[in-house]
């Protein structure tokens, strides 16, 4: 029986009674321990349970952040990677290695920002930041990631910490440390130790576990390929969080600059203001045309012209993108005009365009030059596009003007507008019918598009005259439709003014109803709005709105007087329609709940929807429902089957979507039950998500040229910004190694006012800061010098002036400076010029309040003295100079040195400034009277921008604005002026001679004897001793007598001692005798008692 038998494997039951039983069992097994054994998990200690609960809630709550709307664009601009570190640490080497890694190109001369495509969805811009503090400040404001290079052999340097502090004040971008020079370490142990200490120091500075990267060795002037690759990977997967300042402000990190000033002007005046164009990716928020901007290191400007250009370093095409993970060589683009890469070579007074090479859009433009004239025109020269854009702008705003110009070119001269329209109508009849068909089909879209189209017109006119004409004609037609009421001639003026209101009201609805393009109605004549004239009688102004029609009318009829000024009235003041008429009333019948409801809202369909969402699991039941509905529908409606099918399909899709939504929400919520707070949080989150979705989808389909009109230049666009009146030094001393930033300013931020900030002296800064000493602040985009006044807030909200910043406390500071939103952080340095080994950042803080007046006060004590004193009233002089001053302080409380309180009542006539005051007690003439008040301190209106970009390179690091008084005194060798009152001197006190106390006789009589003054002189009979001068003989006697006395004294003392001893001895003897006597007596007693007891026993 050795035969091996194959047994049949056990078949586990999957259905049936047994399986169900088992399932039940396992399910109960799966229950948590808490569920199964409730007693074990019962609350034993209420306090502990409460603590546990509270802790849990705290942890949960800590996880929450205020949800923000996600405003990142679909195609974000390149992320800015700043490579920061002290000199000779290997910044350039690192950038070169990274660029080589990303593009396979060796860039020898790196100047300014370098943009590369690092992945399918990511571009990076590298900038190198030297240790100039201005440079570090500017870089920290724009960089998304900073690579902090640290020489491992040397350790951390002050610059590194300074940069971290600067970053912290400006929103803290992502920071990654990179250790270099690791190959210098000879022994492994030392290397390990160094790494560890550096890492921990870095962690305390940023956060526990912050990434510190090690670049182990340098081979042939380059870092190891593997190290760079790892670093590059880290960079390309890094997530960036939005920073408050940058999401609300638009900015550009300039990667190309050109001077467009007329050469002739420069020749005539080399110091003339320049017109400069800046190029770069728009970042942050939206750029608006004519926005005010600030260029750090240069000043405030307003944008003269802004336009977007095709992306010079585009991400790989989405459509073309294959399913590969890496980029191919063609897509690995690099753009660095300052370094001479990417097609455009930057030179001081010329730009060389490299036609071949890696510049991709150049190749594209070669292909598209025929069908995209705009692009080609941009490529050709900057001047032309500038002008052409200006031209097209003009046309956009006042198309009628533009049209008439062009029309006049083509159709010779025409007398009036009306004739022009007629002509055009004829034209259109003559012209091909197909054109009209197109118009009809896409009237709406044309209307929207024609802004963009017109912009192109100036470039296209030579090529396609007929097409352009069509567009223009269409526009003028719609204009005619739009404004046929408002439009008038001087001839028919009298006719329509008869019943102006009725006409107006009809026209009002008709116009807005008939026109498909309200946009145009509103913004068409915006250019004429600016120079509109109220009293103007010209007909063309009538076309920009009803208001002017009425206005004009007003000069004729006084009834319409208020409608004349109805511009100021929000009420629409037309005659009503006749609502008594049933037909008229019918037009609003469905506006009431009693009217007919829309299908999406009516009760029946809502019910049906509810069903769908309620039992979404029962798909089959749903299907049945559907069928039933279908049947119903078929009963009710007799429509085309195709239509029904389509609608069914849509319905089904809708249903599916709803099911998915319901599932998603349930899945997201999970098993946990959400309490009320969570529900609120979740609701807020979903709301914001919805908003973000709307933000993205609203303008998505539109052409960029139109989109820009609505939202401005969004982040990710490559923009060209033209700015006029830039100081010539900017161009003259331009150095691409210093980052140029164009920071957009919001409304009100170009204004200047009093800024109140919370400030704290940096604990590493060795000195304390003095009030009214100049301080350089980096706040918002700006770097500026100003004179802050430090203050501290009392409990009643009073801002009391401080002379110096407190050592380890926050205090307030108020200065005259640019208005910057509250909550913006800043850092302060005392000078940007000095190159000390010390820590340079003097203070950090945040903006609290902006105002146009300041409220800092300091204590003021006014001193006066009594002039005349009555019982409780006294006249006080010397406190004020005039009666007017006194009246200002009437009712103020005053106090004497001795603490008697009083009040100022009224000024008296003479002497000037004296007043009557009352006190709670009679004061003395010698009392000094104080009035304690507060004196408002003026904040000096000094604000100057640190203009480092306008200085030559060697002067840049030596910028010095206003000097401190101390500095000036030191330089000129002066001493501080001392107030003689402030010098401490020894007090001179007068000795007082009091008069003797005299008690009147009458009083003396009444006094008891005890209190009566005694007139018995105590030492009356005292004989005054006379000095005795002895003769030598007497002296001798005296000395002998003295000696005898001394001997006697000694003898007495000895006798006394002997006696003491004798007594002692005697006492001892007596004691011994006594003791002996006692013991004898005891003995006798004892024997006696013994005998007695014996005799007693015998008797018994």
Partner 1 sequence: MSLLEFKGSNCFRQRLILSTLSLKSMVIKDIRVKHEEVGLREYELNLLSLIEKLTNGSSYEVDETGTQLTCKPGLLIGGKVEHECSLQRSISYYLEVLLCFAPFCKVPLDVTLIGITNDQIDVSVDSLKHSSTPILIKFLGILDPSEVEIKVISRGLPPNGGGEVLFRCPIRKYLKPVNMLNSGKIKRIRGVAFATRVAPSIANRIVDKAKGYLLKCIPDVYIYTDHRHGKHSGKSPGFGLCLVAETTNEVFYTSDAVSNPSGSEKGVSVPEDVAVEAVFNLFEEIYRGGCFSSNNQALACLFMALGQTDVSKIQLGPLSPYCIQFLRHMKSFLHVTFKLEVDESSEKVDSEGYEYKKGSQKVIATCIGIGMMNLSKTII
Site for partner 1 in 681-700 (CB under 8 A): 691, 694-695, 698-699
With CB under 8 A as the contact rule, the residue among 592, 667, 1009, 1015 that binds partner 1 is: 592
CB 584, min distance to partner 1, A: 8
Which C-beta is closer to partner 1: that of 209 or that of 535?
535
Please tell me what DSSP assigns to residue 726. E
Which C-beta is closer to partner 1: that of 285 or that of 844?
285
With CB under 8 A as the contact rule, the residue among 46, 355, 591, 998 that binds partner 1 is: 591
Q: Are 850 and 823 in contact (CB under 8 A)?
A: no
User: Using CB under 8 A, which residues numbered 494 to 513 contact partner 1?
Assistant: 508-509, 512-513
User: Using CB under 8 A, which residues numbered 1030 to 1069 contact partner 1?
Assistant: none
CB 789, min distance to partner 1, A: 18
CB 514, min distance to partner 1, A: 9
How big is the site for partner 1, counted in residues (CB under 8 A)? 92
Site membership for partner 1, residue 676 (CB under 8 A)? no
Cβ count within 10 A of residue 392: 22
With CB under 8 A as the contact rule, the residue among 531, 668, 671, 954 that binds partner 1 is: 531
CB 20, min distance to partner 1, A: 49
Site membership for partner 1, residue 69 (CB under 8 A)? yes
CB 730, min distance to partner 1, A: 18
Which C-beta is closer to partner 1: that of 368 or that of 810?
810
CB 941, min distance to partner 1, A: 12
Q: Which residue(s) pair with 180 in the sheet? A: 151
Residues 6+ apart with CB under 8 A from 719: 252, 279, 280, 281, 282, 287, 306, 307, 308, 309, 713
Cβ count within 10 A of residue 396: 19
User: Using CB under 8 A, which residues numbered 749 to 788 contact partner 1?
Assistant: 750-751, 753
Q: Are 254 and 741 in contact (CB under 8 A)?
A: yes
CB 537, min distance to partner 1, A: 9
DSSP secondary structure of 345-384? EE-SS-EEE--SSS-HHHHHHHHHTTT-HHHHHHHH-HHH
CB 209, min distance to partner 1, A: 32
Residues 6+ apart with CB under 8 A from 771: 788, 789, 790, 801, 802, 803, 804
CB 121, min distance to partner 1, A: 23
User: Using CB under 8 A, which residues numbered 441 to 470 contact partner 1?
Assistant: 448
Which region, judged by CB under 8 A, interacts with partner 1, from 156-164, 474-482, 524-532, 896-904? 524-532
CB 185, min distance to partner 1, A: 49
With CB under 8 A as the contact rule, the residue among 373, 545, 739, 780 that binds partner 1 is: 545
> What b/e string do you get for 11-32 counting C-beta neighbours within 10 Å, with b at 16 or more?
eeeeeeeeeeeeeeeeeeeeee
Which C-beta is closer to partner 1: that of 691 or that of 881?
691
Q: Which residue(s) pair with 344 in the sheet? A: 353
Which C-beta is closer to partner 1: that of 645 or that of 955?
645
Site membership for partner 1, residue 916 (CB under 8 A)? no
User: Using CB under 8 A, which residues numbered 247 to 266 contact partner 1?
Assistant: 248
Which C-beta is closer to partner 1: that of 300 or that of 626?
300
CB 618, min distance to partner 1, A: 27
Please give the distance of CA 58 from its chain centroid, rounded to a whole number: 27
Residue 815, phi then psi, degrees to nearest 5: -145, 165
Site membership for partner 1, residue 72 (CB under 8 A)? no
With CB under 8 A as the contact rule, the residue among 236, 364, 709, 903 that binds partner 1 is: 709
Task: Give the pair of three-digit tokens for residue 1023.
Answer: 């004989």
With CB under 8 A as the contact rule, the residue among 367, 598, 641, 938 that binds partner 1 is: 598
Instruction: Specify the residue for token string 């044309």.
Output: 446
Separation of alpha carbons 385 and 392, rounded Å: 10
Site membership for partner 1, residue 595 (CB under 8 A)? yes
CB 61, min distance to partner 1, A: 21
Site membership for partner 1, residue 300 (CB under 8 A)? yes
Angle (nearest 5°) at CA 247 between 243 and 249? 120
Site membership for partner 1, residue 680 (CB under 8 A)? no
Which region, judged by CB under 8 A, interacts with partner 1, from 151-159, 404-412, 518-526, 622-630? 518-526
Separation of alpha carbons 133 and 139, rounded Å: 10
Which region, judged by CB under 8 A, interacts with partner 1, from 52-60, 286-294, 387-395, 946-954? 286-294
Q: Are 771 and 802 in contact (CB under 8 A)?
A: yes
Q: Which long-range contacts (CB under 8 A, 24 or more apart) does 858-862 make?
A: 858/800, 858/801, 858/934, 858/935, 858/937, 859/800, 859/932, 859/934, 859/935, 860/932, 860/933, 860/934, 860/935, 861/930, 861/931, 861/932, 861/933, 862/930, 862/931, 862/933
Separation of alpha carbons 112 and 701, rounded Å: 35
Provide the angle, in degrees to the nearest 10, between the axes of the packed helices 417-430 and 465-482: 130
With CB under 8 A as the contact rule, the residue among 590, 631, 955, 1035 that binds partner 1 is: 590
Q: Are 130 and 92 in contact (CB under 8 A)?
A: no
Residues 6+ apart with CB under 8 A from 134: 297, 738, 783, 832, 946, 948, 956, 959
Site membership for partner 1, residue 977 (CB under 8 A)? no
Which region, judged by CB under 8 A, interacts with partner 1, from 145-153, 287-295, 376-384, 993-1001? 287-295
CB 606, min distance to partner 1, A: 13
Site membership for partner 1, residue 593 (CB under 8 A)? yes
Provide the angle, in degrees to the nearest 10, between the axes of the packed helices 399-411 and 382-397: 100
With CB under 8 A as the contact rule, the residue among 269, 329, 490, 600 that binds partner 1 is: 600
CB 725, min distance to partner 1, A: 11
User: Using CB under 8 A, which residues numbered 840 to 859 contact partner 1?
Assistant: 848-853
User: Using CB under 8 A, which residues numbered 623 to 662 contact partner 1?
Assistant: 637, 639, 647
Separation of alpha carbons 687 and 698, rounded Å: 16
Which C-beta is closer to partner 1: that of 422 or that of 565?
565
Which C-beta is closer to partner 1: that of 418 or that of 441?
441
Residues 6+ apart with CB under 8 A from 327: 117, 119, 120, 316
Which region, judged by CB under 8 A, interacts with partner 1, from 40-48, 110-118, 281-289, 340-348? 281-289
Please tell me what DSSP assigns to residue 491. S
Site membership for partner 1, residue 291 (CB under 8 A)? yes
Separation of alpha carbons 173 and 164, rounded Å: 10
Site membership for partner 1, residue 836 (CB under 8 A)? no
DSSP secondary structure of 40-53? GGS-S-HHHHHHHH
User: Using CB under 8 A, which residues numbered 558 to 587 contact partner 1?
Assistant: 562, 565-572, 576-577, 579, 585-587
With CB under 8 A as the contact rule, the residue among 85, 113, 343, 712 that binds partner 1 is: 712
Which C-beta is closer to partner 1: that of 372 or that of 577?
577
Please give the distance of CA 844 from its chain centroid, rounded to a whole number: 14
Which region, judged by CB under 8 A, interacts with partner 1, from 280-288, 624-632, 1062-1070, 1079-1087? 280-288
Residues 6+ apart with CB under 8 A from 679: none
DSSP secondary structure of 837-851? SS--EEEEEEEEEEE
CB 289, min distance to partner 1, A: 6
Separation of alpha carbons 811 and 945, rounded Å: 24
* Binding pattern for the stretch 786-825 against partner 1, x by CB under 8 A and - elsewhere: ---------------------------------x-xxx--
């Amino acid at each position: 029986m050795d035969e091996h038998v194959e047994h049949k494997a056990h078949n586990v039951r999957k259905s049936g009674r047994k399986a169900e039983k088992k399932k039940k069992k396992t399910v109960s097994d799966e229950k948590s321990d808490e569920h199964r054994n409730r007693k074990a998990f019962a609350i034993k200690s209420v306090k502990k349970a409460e603590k546990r609960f509270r802790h849990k809630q705290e942890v949960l709550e800590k996880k929450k952040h205020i949800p923000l709307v996600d405003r990142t664009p679909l195609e974000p601009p390149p992320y800015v990677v700043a490579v920061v570190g002290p000199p000779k640490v290997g910044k350039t080497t690192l950038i070169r290695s990274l660029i080589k890694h990303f593009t396979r190109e060796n860039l020898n001369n790196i100047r300014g920002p370098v943009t590369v495509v690092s992945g399918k969805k990511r571009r990076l811009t590298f900038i190198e930041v030297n240790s100039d503090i201005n440079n570090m400040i500017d870089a920290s404001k724009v960089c998304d990631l900073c690579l902090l290079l640290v020489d491992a052999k040397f350790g951390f340097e002050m610059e590194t910490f300074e940069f971290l502090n600067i970053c912290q004040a400006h929103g803290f971008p992502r920071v990654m440390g990179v250790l270099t020079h690791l190959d210098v370490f000879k022994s492994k142990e030392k290397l390990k130790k160094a790494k560890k200490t550096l890492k921990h120091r870095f962690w305390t500075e940023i956060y526990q576990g912050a990434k510190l990267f090690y670049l182990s060795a340098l081979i042939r002037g380059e870092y190891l390929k593997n190290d760079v690759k790892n670093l590059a990977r880290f960079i390309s997967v890094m997530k960036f969080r939005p920073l408050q300042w940058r999401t609300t402000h638009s900015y550009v990190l300039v990667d190309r600059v050109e001077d467009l000033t007329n050469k002739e002007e420069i020749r005539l005046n080399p110091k003339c203001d320049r017109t400069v164009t800046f190029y770069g990716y728009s970042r942050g928020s939206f750029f608006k045309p004519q926005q005010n901007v600030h260029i750090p290191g240069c000043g405030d400007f307003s944008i003269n012209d802004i336009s977007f250009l095709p992306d010079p370093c585009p991400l790989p095409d989405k459509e073309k993108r294959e399913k590969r993970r890496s980029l191919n060589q063609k897509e690995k683009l690099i753009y660095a005009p300052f370094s001479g890469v990417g097609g455009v070579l930057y030179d001081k007074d010329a730009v060389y365009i490299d036609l071949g090479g890696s510049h991709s859009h150049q190749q594209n433009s070669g292909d598209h030059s025929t069908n995209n004239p705009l692009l080609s025109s941009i490529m050709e020269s900057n001047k032309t596009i500038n002008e052409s854009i200006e031209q097209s702008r003009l046309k956009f705003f006042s198309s009628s003007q533009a049209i008439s110009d062009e029309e006049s070119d083509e159709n010779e001269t025409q007398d009036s507008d009306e004739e022009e329209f007629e002509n055009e109508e004829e034209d259109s009849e003559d012209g091909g019918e197909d054109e009209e068909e197109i118009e009809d089909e896409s009237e709406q879209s044309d209307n929207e598009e024609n802004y963009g189209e017109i912009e192109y017109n100036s470039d296209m006119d030579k090529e396609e005259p007929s097409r352009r004409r069509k567009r223009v004609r269409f526009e003028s037609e719609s204009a005619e439709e739009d404004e046929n009421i408002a439009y008038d001639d001087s001839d028919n003026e009298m006719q329509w003014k008869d019943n102006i209101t009725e006409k107006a009201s009809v026209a009002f609805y008709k116009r807005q109803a008939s026109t498909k393009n309200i946009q145009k109605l509103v913004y068409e004549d915006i250019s004429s709005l600016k120079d509109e004239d109220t009293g103007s009688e010209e007909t063309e102004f009538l076309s920009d709105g009803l208001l002017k029609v009425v206005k004009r009318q007003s000069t004729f009829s006084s009834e319409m007087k208020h409608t004349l000024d109805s511009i100021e009235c929000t009420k629409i003041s037309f005659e009503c329609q006749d609502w008594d008429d049933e037909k008229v009333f019918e037009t609003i019948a469905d506006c009431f709940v009693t009217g007919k409801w829309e299908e999406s809202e009516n009760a029946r369909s809502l019910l049906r929807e509810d069903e769908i969402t309620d039992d979404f699991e029962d798909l089959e039941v749903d299907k049945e429902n559907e069928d039933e509905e279908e049947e119903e529908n078929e009963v009710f409606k007799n429509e085309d089957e195709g239509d029904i099918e389509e609608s069914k399909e849509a319905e089904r899709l809708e249903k599916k979507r709803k099911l998915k939504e319901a599932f998603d929400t349930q899945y997201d919520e999970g098993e946990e039950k959400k309490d009320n707070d969570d529900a609120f949080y979740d609701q807020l989150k979903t709301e914001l998500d919805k908003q973000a979705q709307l933000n993205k989808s609203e303008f998505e389909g539109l052409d960029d040229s139109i989109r820009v009109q609505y939202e401005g230049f969004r982040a990710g666009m490559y923009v060209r910004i033209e700015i006029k009146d830039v100081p010539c030094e900017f161009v003259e001393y331009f150095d691409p190694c210093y980052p140029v930033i164009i920071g957009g300013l919001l409304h009100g931020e170009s204004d200047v006012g009093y800024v109140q900030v919370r400030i704290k002296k940096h604990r590493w800064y060795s000195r304390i800061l003095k009030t009214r000493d100049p301080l350089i602040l980096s706040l918002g985009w700006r770097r500026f010098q100003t004179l802050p006044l430090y203050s501290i807030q009392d409990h009643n909200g009073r801002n009391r002036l401080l002379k110096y910043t407190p050592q380890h406390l926050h205090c307030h500071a108020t200065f005259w400076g640019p208005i910057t939103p509250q909550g913006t952080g800043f850092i302060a340095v005392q000078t940007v010029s000095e190159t000390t080994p010390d820590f340079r950042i003097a203070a950090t803080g945040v903006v609290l309040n902006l105002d146009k007046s300041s409220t800092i006060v300091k204590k003021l004590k006014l001193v006066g003295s009594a002039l005349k004193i009555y019982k409780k009233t006294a006249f006080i002089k010397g406190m004020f100079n005039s009666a007017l001053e006194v009246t200002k302080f009437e009712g103020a409380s005053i106090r004497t040195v001795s603490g008697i309180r009083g009040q100022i009542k009224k000024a008296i006539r003479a002497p000037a400034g004296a007043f009557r005051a009352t006190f709670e007690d009679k004061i003395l003439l010698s009392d000094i009277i104080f009035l304690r008040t507060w004196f408002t301190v003026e904040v000096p209106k000094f604000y100057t921008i640190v203009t480092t970009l306008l200085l030559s390179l060697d002067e840049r690091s030596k910028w010095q604005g206003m000097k401190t008084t101390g500095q000036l005194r030191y330089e000129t060798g002066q001493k501080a002026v001392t107030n003689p009152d402030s010098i401490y001197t020894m007090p001179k006190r007068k000795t007082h001679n009091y008069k003797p106390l005299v008690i009147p006789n009458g009083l003396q009589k009444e006094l008891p004897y005890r209190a009566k003054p005694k007139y018995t002189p105590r030492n009356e009979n005292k004989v005054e001793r006379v000095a005795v001068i002895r003769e030598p003989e007497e002296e001798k006697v005296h000395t002998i007598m003295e000696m005898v006395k001394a001997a006697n004294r000694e003898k007495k003392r000895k006798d006394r001692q002997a006696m003491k001893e004798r007594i002692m001895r005697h006492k001892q003897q007596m004691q011994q005798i006594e003791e002996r006597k006692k013991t004898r007596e005891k003995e006798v007693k004892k024997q006696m008692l013994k005998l007695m007891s014996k005799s007693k026993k015998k008797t018994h």
